[in-house]
Chain A
Amino acid sequence: MKQVLKKPLITEKLTRLQEEGKYAFKVDKHASKADIKQAVIDRYPEVKIKKINTMIMPSKPKGRYTQSGYIVGREKVWKKAIVTLKEGEIDFFSEI
């Protein structure tokens, strides 16, 4: 597993959840909750984690119009992790 935490997820709904101390990440599909916990602690050492919920986000069909017609494909299956913190805060923009 090259990289457990792939990117933080920032959306309207997930920003609302941040007020409850819940932060979401796109993670490696094969990462376990323990892997995710370790990765979060490694990257944000000042936080303490309460629990981690994960879910596999299903593949959805997608397509695009090209000169030679409509090409059908599917999105990749990916894993989302919602990390609930006991204490501390994560600032996704600190590295920008």
Chain B
Amino acid sequence: MEITVNDITSVDKELIISADREDLEPKFKEAYKKYRGQINMPGFRPGKVPIKIVRKRFGDEIEQEEVSKYVQEVFENEVVPEYEPVGESEMLELNWENDELEAKFKIGARPEFELTDLSEVGVDRLVHDVTDEEVGEELDRQLKQQGNWEVVEEEITEDNRVTVDAIPLDDDGEPDEENKTEETIDLTQEESEQFRDDLLGHEVGDEIDVEIGHDDHTHSFKLNVKKVEKLHKADLTDEFAKEASDGEAKNVDEFKSLIKSKIQDYYDQSADDLFKNDIIDSLVDKHDFDVPEVFKKQVQNQYVERVKQQSQGQLPPDFDEEEYKENMEDRAIRDAKWFFLNEKLQEKFDDIEIKPEDIDQHLEAEASRYGISVDQMRNMFAQNPQQLESLRNSIREEKVFDRLKDEVNIKEIDKETYQEKHDEDIEA
């Protein structure tokens, strides 16, 4: 048996496993013995079919199966420990002809690169302290949400909700009464903008002609105003505060600080996510190395799997898998690069360790997210070692980010500057 490796690129290799009958004969003999006991042939007692006959009748199938098993064994026991392939190795060919075996694989090798000086990596970090104004806006939104609509006999203003009969007009401008529908238009909402100018200043009983534009054509309607309503916001009382916060806040002041802390949490979490994203982008930009083709494909396949999971286990009917993978190629290369960078960073920060309390903390968070007890969550993970491993990986990654915060050059910027930069990036 011989293993030869040819370089396709610095990270993509072609690996050939070659062997002859001599290498495989012991496996074949064993297989024939095994199948002899299982084959039922008229004229023979079970297990008494001569090996010669088994070989003649079922030889090809048995040998082909054994050849596949042999190749798999060699790959697992010899190739994996020696060459440490990354990604899903691809079998290109498997030939068993004239007592000669040749199995060709495309494997990925771990890219070789040096980590750059992390202090040279600069990343912006969004820092935003929630203002009283933002708290006020949120409070106002909640008061409106809990408020009541009261029918008024006034001219329509921007704060009103209007109920109309919408009658489509045909090409000659004649109303089509059969297709009349009742519509409620909330003028405080952005999506009602197209009606706003037409409706303002009118009152109940008025008939208004409107045109609604769609891409390259328009629809004409006659609107009969039936009802005008005005929003009465809910009163900001201690009672309201208790109800809206599910009892968490006892009075208005507590409710305000609760809102503030929630918005602050939201900003901190978003800032953290954006920071992680930015740091990955910066590190990927700073390191120039190739990723193995098979690894990139594996990442693309994971994306497709994710789409599948999101649409109840099946790809949408009009989903073009190849096109999707092509569109996601840059993203896949970025994620693949981050995988190797993350590995390198874990090597660098070799004192990172996962303590039981880290796992407990994550289990608690997961449990509260799914609304089950921590013990139930623990059992779920215990039954699924793969899931536990992925949890460990995500904790490890989290700790890498924590360490990166100390190592890279962070420039704190406010919300507006961050937004400007973000918009510039998108434009670029």
> Which A residues fall within an 8 A CB radius of B?
9-12, 14-15, 91, 93, 96
Contacts and interface: CB of A to CB of B under 8 A. Distances in A.
Contact of A96 (B42, B48, B50, B56): B56
Contacts of A11: 42-44
B56 A10 contact: no
Nearest to B42: A11
B57 interface: yes
A93 B57 contact: yes
A14 B43 contact: yes
A15 B53 contact: yes
Contacts of A91: 56
A57 to B, nearest CB: 14
Interface of B: 41-45, 48-50, 53, 56-57
A15 B57 contact: no
Of the listed residues A15, A91, A96, the one surrounded by the most CB atoms of chain B closer than 10 A to its CB is A15
Given A9-B43, A14-B43, A91-B56, 8 more contacts: A11-B44, A12-B43, A12-B44, A12-B49, A15-B50, A93-B56, A93-B57, A96-B56
A91 B52 CA distance: 11
A-B residue pairs, 6 tightest by C-beta:
A11-B43, A93-B56, A12-B44, A12-B48, A15-B50, A10-B43
Nearest to A10: B43
A96 B57 contact: yes
Contacts of B50: 15
B48 to A, nearest CB: 5
Nearest to A92: B56
A9 B42 CA distance: 10
Contacts of A14: 43
Nearest to A14: B43
Contacts of B41: 10
Nearest to B59: A93
Nearest to A16: B50
Contacts of B43: 9-12, 14
A12 B53 CA distance: 10
B22 to A, nearest CB: 24
Contacts of B57: 93, 96
B56 A12 contact: no
A11 B48 CA distance: 10
A15 B43 CA distance: 10
A15 B42 CA distance: 13
Contacts of A10: 41, 43, 53
Chain B CB within 10 Å — which of A12, A91, A96 has the most?
A: A12
A15 B57 CA distance: 14
A15 B45 CA distance: 12
A9 B53 CA distance: 13
A10 B45 CA distance: 12
11 contacts: A10-B41, A10-B53, A11-B42, A11-B43, A12-B43, A14-B43, A15-B44, A15-B50, A93-B57, A96-B56, A96-B57
B35 to A, nearest CB: 16
